[in-house]
Amino acid sequence: LSVRRKWLLGNRGHFNFIAKKIFRSKRISKISVQRFKQRVDHFDASNTQTFNQRYWYTNKYYKPGGPIFLMIEGESEASPSWLEYESIPFLKMVKNNSALAFVLEHRYYGGSQPFEDLSTEHLKYLSSRQAIEDIADFIRAMNQSFKLENPKWITFGGSYSGALSAWMRETHPELVYGAIATSGPVLAQVNFPEYMEAVANAISEHSQICAMNLQLGLKAAVELMKTKEGRSKLKSMFYLCDSLEGLTENGIATFYESILGNYMSAAQYGGDNAVMRSWVWQTCTEFGYYQTTQSTKATKFFGDLVIDISFTGTAHCADMYEESSDDLESLKKGRTIIAESVKTWVNAK
Per-residue pLDDT, 296: 38
Residue 138 and residue 141: Cα distance in Å, rounded? 5
Kindly report which listed range (205-219, 227-241, 260-274) carries the lowest average pLDDT score.
Answer: 260-274
| Amino acid letter for position 13 | G
Percent of the chain with pLDDT over 70: 76
Per-residue pLDDT, 256: 81
Backbone angles phi, psi at 54, to 5 degrees: -85, 145
**Residue 115: burial class (beta carbons within 10 Å; 0-12, 13-18, 19+):** middle
Q: 75 falls in which pLDDT band (50, 70, 90)?
A: confident
Helix locations, the chain, DSSP H: 20-23, 89-96, 120-123, 128-145, 160-171, 194-206, 208-224, 228-237, 249-268, 277-282, 329-347
Between 180 and 283, the higher pLDDT residue? 180
Per-residue pLDDT, 125: 96
Per-residue pLDDT, 52: 98
Q: What is the per-residue pLDDT across 147-201, written as a single tens digit (0 to 9) for each?
A: 999 999 999 998 889 999 999 999 999 999 999 998 777 777 767 677 777 778 7
CB 334 within 8 A of CB 319: yes
Per-residue pLDDT averaged across 113-120, rounded?
92
Kindly report which listed range (11-15, 221-225, 344-348) carries the lowest average pLDDT score.
Answer: 11-15
Residues 6+ apart with CB under 8 A from 109: 73, 74, 75, 76, 77, 78, 276, 278
Percent of the chain with pLDDT over 90: 41
Q: Is the pLDDT assigned to residue 211 strictly greater than 80?
A: yes
Domains in the chain, ordered, with CATH? 20-187+307-347 (3.40.50.1820), 194-287 (no CATH)
Task: Look up the pTM and report it.
Answer: 0.67
Query: Which element (helix H / strand E) includes 34?
Result: strand 34-39
